């Protein structure tokens, strides 16, 4: 029985290339995470605190953007090819977007990492949220622009494959995995308009010095126009695996194909008109617009709850087919020794916990309690840091053998790895959430104030620090185990059946569901209208207040090289 690499060797090479970049970024980003955890908690400090922000930016950009999106590009390529059962239309186009995204990501990474070398006058310590007034070296923004255009080309590649398939299958329902890829990419095209406009029209000319000022609130709002939907861009590959792969790993079948389609359509409609919920505390945006963003955000709970039901029901189906009984004891019949299954299931558990803290973040009033505190990184380490990252790593144990024709080096190491990640994240994110409730700030190397004690409702600050340091260390160990396992798998001999890669039909298939679900033009049009409704007036207000280019000079962040000039500039801005 041939696996993916035997049927589509060229596409398998494309997927492997994206996964190599993804895993390399994961390794560097995880190392930076360890350095941060130990520095911030005071357990091990070998860097200057100024360099903490270089490490923080590298951690955020390499993990949240490069690791996740390169994995997505590989997974989506695999999903489109294998669900349409046809090769990509032109492999040169595929290699073009691999090259463009890789070059762009490399430029951005070089600009960030150069901040650690004082002799190079280049830095990009703008954190993952790269908006004004913090200014990075132009290479960072140029790299980002190339990266975004590369993702657009990747989407074009998948749409072209779909078009060819549609020409030959005019009356068929879109295969589920391709449907998921296309709806996600439509959401991505819409969402990246914000960051593309911000980067190309404002940040690049500003960093080159072609314009003196930009409007910080405008670049901030355009960033969050993209900055929240990008969360779903990370999450959708995890959902794709939860819906289409996890039921199979559990020994069952997807409970409902139509429900899965509804969920992806809802994400297309609702992902983008919510970004202002990241700006509840920003002056310059009227309360009413923030309230609308909050309402839209609460609607996003619906697809997540539908997913909880459908995915858990699919797992239960597998457990009961394997002899599971009772209300809860069927959980024991699931294949917990399979690292791919266990990793994804634990990722789902953590996502449920992240759902709670997400509701707190989304609530306009209660958000004030935790805004800019350690709670927020605690939240997104449950969502992107576990639901997404752990699903991607666990899914790799099942996916990579299909791309190489080689067995996984060690299933027990894989199992240990996903459990260590889970334990590490329980320690770290629990500590972060509770630290946030006590008011411990985020995004700082020095959270200790003079003559000030954080009052803890439960536990102590020392215990919080220990939780973060131990948790962060376990997470790094987990990444090392993952990378070693995947690397050693590459040296295995090719075998005939490296993995069980068949995907069973859903219990309830697409044929009985409304055809309108597959009408991508309709859903895109509604999504565009919703974005126009949510953003036109706030953006008009922001531009009306301070103009397109505003009046705030930039704060170049290569501080170590330009310390004096920066200090003068900061004094000027504050005065």
Partner 1 sequence: MEPKTESTVREDVPERPRGYVVGSAPDSIEREIGHDEFDPVGTLVLILGYFAILVVMWVFMYFVEFLGRGLTVVG
Q: Which stretch binds partner 1 (CB under 8 A): 96-104, 219-227, 233-241, 492-500?
A: 492-500
In this structure, the chain runs to a length of: 575
Q: Is 317 one of the annotated active-site residues of the chain? A: no
Q: Does 248 bind partner 1 (CB under 8 A)?
A: yes
- Tell me, yes or no, if 232 is annotated catalytic: yes
Q: Does 320 bind partner 1 (CB under 8 A)?
A: yes
Annotate 404-430 with b (16+ C-beta within 10 A) or e (fewer): bbbbbbbeebbbbbbbbbbbbbbbbbb
Which residue in the list 40, 261, 277, 379 is annotated as catalytic? 379
Does 368 help bind partner 1 (rule: CB under 8 A)? yes
What does the DSSP assignment read for 25-55? Answer: HHHHHHHHHHHHHHHHTTS---S-GGGHHHH
Shortest Cβ 124–partner 1 spacing (Å): 34
Check residue 234 for interaction with partner 1 (CB under 8 A). no
CB atoms within 10 A of CB 503: 16
State the helix-helix crossing angle for 339-362 and 301-321, rounded to 10 degrees.
160
Residue 358 CA, chain-centre distance (Å), reads: 15
Q: Cis before residue 133, ω within 30 degrees of 0? A: yes
373: β partners:
441
Q: Which of 232, 233, 280, 535 is catalytic?
A: 232
Q: Residues touching partner 1: how many (CB under 8 A)?
A: 58
Check residue 449 and report its DSSP letter: P
Task: Tell me the closest approach of the beta carbon of residue 78 to partner 1, in angstroms.
Answer: 14
CB-based contact 156:84 (threshold 8 Å): no
Please pick, among 137, 228, 317, 433, the residue that the annotation labels catalytic. 228
Q: Which of 380, 422, 482, 535 is catalytic?
A: 380
In the chain, what is the straight-line distance between the N-terminal and C-terminal CA atoms, in Å? 72
- Minimum distance of partner 1 from residue 120's CB (angstroms): 44
**In whole angstroms, what is the distance from residue 320 CA to residue 307 CA?**
20
Answer yes or no: 443 catalytic.
yes
By CB under 8 A, is residue 21 in contact with partner 1?
Answer: no
Q: How far is the CB of 323 from partner 1 (least distance, A)?
A: 5
Q: CB of residue 224 vs partner 1: minimum separation in angstroms?
A: 21
- Tell whether residue 365 is a contact of partner 1 (CB under 8 A): yes
One of 137, 434, 442, 465 is an active-site residue; which one?
442
Least Å distance between CB 301 and partner 1? 11
Instruction: Exactly one of 220, 253, 381, 434 is catalytic; name it.
Output: 381
Query: Which of 45, 320, 411, 443 is the catalytic position?
Result: 443
β partners of residue 441: 373
Closer residue to partner 1 in complex, CB, 405/467: 405
- Can you tell me which of 29, 498, 550, 556 binds partner 1, judged by CB under 8 A? 498
Cβ neighbours of residue 167 closer than 8 Å, sequence gap 6 or more: none
Q: Can residue 500 be called a binding residue for partner 1 (CB under 8 A)? A: yes
Determine, following the binding rule CB under 8 A, whether residue 448 of this chain makes contact with partner 1: no
Give me the least distance between CB of 97 and partner 1, in Å please.
29
Please give the full DSSP string across 152-168, using - where no structure is assigned: HHHHHHHHHHHHHHHHH
The CA dihedral of 384, 390, 393, 397, to the nearest 10 degrees, is -150
Enter the tokens of residue 95: 């290699």
Three-point CA angle 257, 262, 268, nearest 5°: 130
- Does 309 bind partner 1 (CB under 8 A)? Our answer is yes
The SS3 assignment for 452 reads coil
Residue with smaller CB distance to partner 1, 352 or 540: 352
Query: Which C-beta is closer to partner 1: that of 154 or that of 461?
Result: 461
Single out the residue of 318, 435, 471, 556 in contact with partner 1 (rule: CB under 8 A): 318
Please list the residues that pair with 406 across neighbouring strands: 494
Rule CB under 8 A: say whether 249 interacts with partner 1: yes
- Report the distance separating Cα 489 and Cα 484, nearest Å: 8
**Footprint of partner 1 on 323-362 (CB under 8 A):** 323-324, 326-328, 330-331, 335, 337-341, 352, 356, 360
Active site residue 411: no
Binding of residue 262 to partner 1 (CB under 8 A): no
**Contacting residues for 115 by C-beta, under 8 A, at least 6 apart:** 51, 54, 57, 122, 123, 124, 125, 557, 558, 560
By CB under 8 A, residue 78 contacts partner 1: no
Q: Answer yes or no: 433 catalytic.
A: no
Q: What is the rounded CA–CA span in Å between residue 351 and residue 387? A: 5
257 scored as a contact of partner 1 (CB under 8 A):
no
Are 227 and 289 in contact, with CB atoms under 8 Å apart? no
**CA-based nearest residue to 205, from 122, 106, 132, 108:** 132
Contact range with partner 1 by CB under 8 A, out of 56-64, 408-416, 441-449, 562-570:
408-416
Residue 495 contacts partner 1 per CB under 8 A? yes
Least distance CB 351 / partner 1 (angstroms): 11
Binding flag, residue 398, partner 1 (CB under 8 A): yes
Residues annotated as catalytic are: 228, 232, 379-381, 442-443
| List of residues contacting partner 1 (CB under 8 A) | 248-251, 255, 308-309, 312-313, 316-324, 326-328, 330-331, 335, 337-341, 352, 356, 360, 365-366, 368-369, 397-398, 401, 407-408, 410-411, 414, 437, 457, 493, 495-502, 504, 507-508
């Amino acid at each position: 029985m041939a696996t993916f690499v035997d049927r589509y060797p060229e596409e398998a090479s494309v997927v492997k290339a994206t996964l190599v970049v993804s895993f390399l970024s994961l390794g560097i980003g995880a190392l930076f995470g360890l350095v941060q955890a130990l520095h911030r908690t005071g357990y091990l400090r070998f860097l200057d605190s100024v360099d903490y922000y270089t490490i923080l930016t590298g951690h955020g950009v390499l993990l949240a953007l490069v690791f996740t999106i390169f994995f997505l590009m590989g997974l989506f390529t695999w999903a489109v090819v294998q669900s349409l059962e046809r090769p990509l239309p032109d492999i040169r186009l595929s290699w073009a977007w691999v090259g463009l995204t890789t070059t762009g990501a490399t430029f951005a990474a070089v600009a960030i990492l150069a901040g650690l070398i004082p002799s190079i006058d280049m830095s990009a310590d703008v954190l993952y949220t790269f908006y004004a007034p913090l200014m990075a070296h132009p290479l960072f923004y140029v790299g980002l622009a190339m990266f975004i255009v590369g993702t657009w080309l990747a989407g074009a590649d998948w749409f072209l494959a779909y078009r060819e398939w549609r020409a030959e299958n005019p009356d068929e329902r879109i295969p589920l995995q391709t449907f998921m890829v296309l709806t996600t990419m439509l959401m991505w095209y819409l969402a990246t308009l914000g960051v593309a406009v911000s980067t190309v029209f404002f940040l690049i000319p500003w960093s080159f010095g072609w314009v003196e000022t930009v409007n910080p609130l405008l670049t901030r709002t355009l960033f969050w126009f993209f900055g929240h939907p990008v969360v779903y861009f990370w999450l959708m590959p995890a959902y794709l695996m939860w819906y289409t792969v996890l039921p199979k790993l559990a020994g069952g079948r997807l409970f409902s194909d139509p429900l899965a389609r509804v969920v992806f359509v809802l994400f297309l409609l609702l992902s983008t008109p919510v970004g202002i919920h990241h700006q509840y505390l920003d002056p310059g945006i009227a309360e009413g617009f923030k309230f609308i963003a909050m309402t839209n955000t609460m609607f996003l709970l619906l697809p997540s709850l539908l997913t909880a039901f459908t995915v858990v029901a699919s797992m239960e189906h597998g457990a009961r087919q394997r002899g599971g009984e009772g209300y809860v004891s069927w959980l024991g019949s699931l294949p917990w020794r399979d690292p791919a299954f266990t990793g994804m299931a634990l990722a789902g558990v953590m996502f449920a916990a992240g759902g709670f803290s997400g509701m707190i973040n989304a609530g306009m009033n209660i958000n004030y309690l935790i805004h800019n505190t350690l709670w927020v990184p605690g939240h997104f380490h449950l969502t992107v840091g576990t639901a997404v990252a752990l699903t991607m790593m666990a899914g790799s144990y099942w996916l990579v053998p299909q791309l190489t024709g080689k067995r996984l080096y060690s299933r027990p190491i894989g199992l240990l790895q996903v459990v260590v990640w889970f334990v590490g994240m329980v320690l770290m994110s629990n500590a972060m959430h509770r630290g946030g409730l006590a008011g411990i700030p985020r995004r700082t190397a020095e959270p200790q104030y003079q003559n000030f004690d954080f009052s803890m409702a439960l536990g102590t600050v020392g215990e919080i620090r220990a939780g973060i340091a131990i948790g962060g260390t376990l997470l790094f160990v987990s990444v090392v185990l993952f990378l070693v396992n995947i690397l050693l798998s590459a040296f295995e001999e090719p075998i005939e059946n490296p993995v069980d890669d068949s995907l069973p039909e859903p219990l309830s298939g697409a044929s009985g569901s409304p055809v309108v679900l597959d009408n991508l033009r309709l859903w895109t049009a509604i999504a565009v209208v919703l974005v126009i409704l949510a953003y036109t007036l706030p953006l008009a207000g922001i531009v009306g207040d301070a103009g397109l280019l505003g009046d705030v000079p930039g704060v170049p962040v290569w501080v170590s090289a330009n310390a004096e000039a920066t200090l003068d500039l900061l004094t000027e801005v504050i005065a």
